[in-house]
Amino acid sequence: MKFTIGWLKDHLDTKKKDNELIEKLTDIGLEVESFDKLSSDLDSFKVAKIINAEQHPNADRLRICDVDIGEQNTIKVVCGAPNAKKDLLTVYAGPGSIIPKNNMKLTVSKIRGVTSYGMLCSESELNLSEESEGITELKSSNYSDKIGKNFFKSKTEKVVDLSITPNRPDCLGVRGVARDLAAAGAGKLKKISLKNIKKNGSQKIKVSIIKDKNQGCNAFGSCLIEGVTNQESPHWLKEKIFSLGQKPISAIVDITNYVMLDLNRPLHAYDADKIDKEIIVRNSKKGETFKALDNKEYKLDDGMCVISDKSGVLGLGGIIGGTRSGTEINTKNVLLESAYFLPRSIRKTSKLLNIDTDAKFRFERGIDPRSIELGLSKAAELISEICGGKISNFDIQKTDRYEKNTIKFNVSLFEKITGFKVNDNEIVKILTELGFEVSKKNLELDLKIPTWRPDITQQIDIVEEIVRIKGYNNIETLEPEKTKIKDTLNKQQKLFHFLQRSIASKGYFETVTWSFTDSKINNLFRENLKEIKIVNPISSDLDVLRNSIFSNLTFYLKKNLDRGFKDISLFEIGPIFQDNQPGNQLTVIGAIKSGKVSRLNWNQKERPVDVFDVKKDAIQTLVEAGYDRKSLFIKDKSPSYYHPGKSGSVYLDKNDIEPIAYFGDIHPNIVKKLDIKTEGLLGFEIYLDYLKDNKLKLKDQKPNFEYSDYQKSERDFAFVVDKNFKAQDLMEIISSIDQNLIRSIKIFDIYEGENIPDGKKSIALNVTIQSSEKTLEESDLEKINKLIISTVETKSGAKIRS
């Protein structure tokens, strides 16, 4: 919403300064986006000073000038004027400027091999005089402190640009803004001055509204003005239209626009001679077409509110007129329309047809239905004044009476909501100035709501009116109370934060990527989850919600490899989506690692990252979070995007169905498809939703402290087992032999090859044996030794290696 302060003063009698008005507007909720002069072509001409002028190496008559234009650095300009000398004050035009004399647009150009940024102008080029011999010479007494400033003083008035919230259609007209300011004490709202126009005879073109259950128009006012001479608008009107950055078209069009901007009363002007007999306001039929003023042909659905005549659709009511009945400069007879269209209908139609116009914007938010006559009067008055013509009586067709709504307002609600008091008289005054009709009854106010305020329907709306006009600075700042209703974080949230920092502490960089991703990459990681398409994606390569975090992580890992990084560890903790229903999402940690360990290290051997690196990171994280390593169970099953032989899954318990984590090499096919070039690409995922939380508080989780001081003994074993036999099973067989005696098992070698039969491998392990009751004797140790060997051999088919 734009207007000039001058225009505002058409409606507001005020002595306030511009900046006071601007501040007030913001204070009462009419946010000022800007208060500036509209930029003009002449703004690019600056006062400048030649700092240095030297001979052009390739041209006798040219000089290269260093010019100070008030910026940090001087600018180089090639100039042919004989008077271009050091210390001269002159006028500089930058690239992009349009020279007034010949309308030439300047560009950065090379003149005989030297680049010139803009030009120094003669008086003739600036249309100041006929003087074209040299560049403009400015008096240093007047201009020496104006270097860098605009040479031409802008004649245009400053324009206020308000950002009007959708609840305030009334402030889409200058008068509404003036009313709010008046209520806030910034002046007095002037009366609308309507000259007594002469109306003669009835409006000859018949208007009818066809009733329908979803009709979009309930009131249609019209007036016929015959014998007009359409022409260019007079100066004052053109200035108003210009001041908003719009172009004047013709008096009739400019007047309808002016009334809309002034009173927020959209109008439409038809060339009456182009109307076939009569106006019918009705719902459209499917398939009807018409050509609108934006020169597009629209095909209508049924149920759209159209203004039509005997031959068909003339326009979409309240949205856009049609070319068939538009006014032109030679229009003789004008039919003015001032109607009320229902917001819901306007919104529906404009959305379906994708049309946005000033009228649509206003009707959609709600126009004062009782402003129909005012609009006709104001426009008819201006048209007859400027274009002459004979004004008919107004014809108002309506199917609704638009009575004012009423509210009972309990004054105590104001203090209850805002925390401060305003006395009743002041409340009455504020509301009255906003246009309410107020009558006081004990503690209640009976309010009749002005019809230009469709946003006001209940008591809380009245509280808002009073507090915003009174000023938000009256609200106290109360010290916050520290009482807690609930713990800040629940267990799951604590786990989230813990895991996040735990993983970062292992050298991973946390990233945050979109929840959406490229379906082509997503499909590589989707498994059997449903693809979730976004109907209106921001771009075609962000077209689905992610089913896995890996799609984005691999994508960005590749980007970082392209930047020259090699050994990368990234992770993200966030949602993945199972389908398109609210809540069907999982919180997952995805981590990914590339490159080598100890690359180019003087004392550590470098090697590609491998599955046991990520397994360690995953398991250590889980153990840090409080899950017992002894109960974690590893299986060699994992989703298909992992290397089938170098990946696994982690279960909280051997008997669980749902794994809590996966780890392993990313499948080489995927690495190839994504064209990722690195020595190793590994990843792991942890599913927070499957991590059962320990119901006990930490203080209740710790068992009693028990320990043994009796002597420990260690024994080494090497078993030859099938190649596919799992180390985890071997360790479990041994540890379950006697959990009181067998304290720990360490695998210290895996061997295949010479001396080991094909299809077999040797697992060497070290077992620590300790009793909590006594020091074990050699015979006890021998017994347990034998038991370990025989149990392993029977249960696993292994052979002890001798």
Partner 1 sequence: MSDIKKIKDEYLNKLDSDLNIESVNQIKTELFGKNGKISNSFKTLGSLPNDERKKFASDLNSIKDELQNKIVTKLQEIETKEINSKLKNEKVDVTLPEREFSLGKIHPVSQVIDEISSIFSEIGFSVEEGPDIENEHYNFTALNTPDNHPARDMHDTFYLDNNKELLLRTHTSPVQVRTMLNGKPPFKIIAPGRTYRSDSDQTHSPMFHQVEGLHIDKDINMGHLKGCLNYFIKSFFEVDKIKMRFRPSHFPFTEPSAEVDIGYEMKDGKIVIGEGDKWLEILGCGMVHPNVLKNVKVNPDKFQGYAFGIGIDRLGMLKYGINDLRAFFETDYRWLNHFGFDPLDVPSNYRGLSR
Per DSSP, helices labelled H in 212-315 are 235-243, 251-263
> How would DSSP label each residue in 604-635?
S--EE--HHHHHHHHHHHHHHTT--TTT-EEE
Token couple for 43: 């703004």
420 binds partner 1 (CB under 8 A): yes
Least separation, in Å, of the C-beta of 215 and partner 1? 16
166 binds partner 1 (CB under 8 A): yes
Least separation, in Å, of the C-beta of 612 and partner 1? 17
Binders of partner 1 among 421-480, rule CB under 8 A?
458, 460-461, 463-464, 467-468, 472-473, 475-480
Please, which residues have CB within 8 angstroms of residue 725's CB and are 6 or more apart in sequence? 761, 796, 797, 798
Q: Are 41 and 98 in contact (CB under 8 A)?
A: yes
**SS3 sequence, 434-469?**
CCCEEEEECCEEEEECCCCCCCCCCHHHHHHHHHHH
Q: Quick one: which of 54, 227, 424, 565 contacts partner 1 (CB under 8 A)?
A: 565
493 binds partner 1 (CB under 8 A): yes
Strands 89-93 vs 45-55: parallel, antiparallel or unpaired: antiparallel
483 binds partner 1 (CB under 8 A): yes
Indicate the angle between helix axes 358-365 and 251-263, nearest 10 degrees.
30
589 binds partner 1 (CB under 8 A): no
560 binds partner 1 (CB under 8 A): yes
Please, which residues have CB within 8 angstroms of residue 477's CB and are 6 or more apart in sequence? none
Least separation, in Å, of the C-beta of 619 and partner 1? 17
Binders of partner 1 among 694-713, rule CB under 8 A?
none
Q: Quick one: which of 17, 296, 533, 723 contacts partner 1 (CB under 8 A)?
A: 533
**The one segment of 159-167, 204-212, 607-615, 652-660 that binds partner 1 by CB under 8 A:** 159-167
Least separation, in Å, of the C-beta of 354 and partner 1? 12
Question: Phi/psi at 297 (nearest 5 deg)?
Answer: -95, 125
Q: Quick one: which of 247, 563, 629, 697 contacts partner 1 (CB under 8 A)?
A: 563
Q: Are 448 and 436 in contact (CB under 8 A)?
A: yes
Please, which residues have CB within 8 angstroms of residue 617's CB and are 6 or more apart in sequence? 503, 506, 508, 591, 593, 684
Q: Is 23 or 66 the residue whose CB approaches partner 1 more closely?
A: 23
Residue carrying structure tokens 């426009």: 379
Of the candidates 443, 469, 17, the residue with the CA atom closest to the CA atom of residue 8: 17
Least separation, in Å, of the C-beta of 586 and partner 1? 11
For residues 765 and 733, give the distance between their C-alpha atoms in angstroms, rounded to a whole number: 13
Q: Is 395 or 572 the residue whose CB approaches partner 1 more closely?
A: 572
Q: Are 162 and 264 in contact (CB under 8 A)?
A: no
Q: Is 506 or 726 the residue whose CB approaches partner 1 more closely?
A: 506
545 binds partner 1 (CB under 8 A): yes
Token couple for 302: 């049924």
Binders of partner 1 among 362-381, rule CB under 8 A?
364-365
* Binding residues for partner 1, total number by CB under 8 A: 97
682 binds partner 1 (CB under 8 A): no
36 binds partner 1 (CB under 8 A): no
Q: Quick one: which of 204, 286, 440, 497 contacts partner 1 (CB under 8 A)?
A: 497
354 binds partner 1 (CB under 8 A): no
Of the candidates 429, 478, 689, the residue with the CA atom closest to the CA atom of residue 578: 689
Q: Is 417 or 756 the residue whose CB approaches partner 1 more closely?
A: 417
Q: Is 155 or 484 the residue whose CB approaches partner 1 more closely?
A: 484
For residues 310 and 321, give the distance between their C-alpha atoms in angstroms, rounded to a whole number: 16
**The one segment of 6-14, 63-71, 103-111, 482-490 that binds partner 1 by CB under 8 A:** 482-490
Q: Quick one: which of 155, 295, 540, 602 contacts partner 1 (CB under 8 A)?
A: 602
Q: Is 190 or 566 the residue whose CB approaches partner 1 more closely?
A: 566
568 binds partner 1 (CB under 8 A): yes
Ordered strands of the 799-800 beta sheet: 742-751, 760-769, 713-722, 799-800
155 binds partner 1 (CB under 8 A): no
Binders of partner 1 among 316-345, rule CB under 8 A?
343-344
Binders of partner 1 among 259-298, rule CB under 8 A?
none
Binders of partner 1 among 12-31, rule CB under 8 A?
26-29, 31
Of the candidates 205, 469, 167, the residue with the CA atom closest to the CA atom of residue 333: 205
Q: Are 289 and 298 in contact (CB under 8 A)?
A: yes
Binders of partner 1 among 752-781, rule CB under 8 A?
none
Least separation, in Å, of the C-beta of 25 and partner 1? 10
Binders of partner 1 among 509-528, rule CB under 8 A?
509-516
535 binds partner 1 (CB under 8 A): yes
